[in-house]
Amino acid sequence: MGRQGESSPFSAEFLLTALHQLGRRELTFTQLVAMHYVAERGETTIGEVAAAIGRSRAATSRLVDDLVRAGLVAREKASDDGRVRRVRLTRIARDFLAGLQKGHREAGHAGARRAG
Per-residue pLDDT, 16: 64
| Second-level CATH architecture of 28-109 | Orthogonal Bundle (1.10)
Domain coordinates of the chain in residue numbers?
Answer: 28-109
Closest CA to 94 of 52, 39, 53, 16: 39
Q: Print pLDDT tens along the chain (116 aa).
A: 444 444 545 566 655 666 666 666 678 889 988 998 999 999 999 999 999 999 999 999 999 999 999 999 999 988 888 788 899 999 999 988 888 877 666 665 555 555 55
Within a 10 A sphere around the Cβ of 86, how many other Cβ atoms? 19
Q: Classify each residue of 7-41 as buried b or exposed e, where b means 16 or more C-beta atoms within 10 Å of its C-beta.
A: eeebbeebeebbeeebeeeebeeebbbbbbbbbee
pLDDT in the model for residue 79: 82
What global pTM score does this model have?
0.71
The answer to whether 36 and 73 are in contact (CB under 8 A) is: no
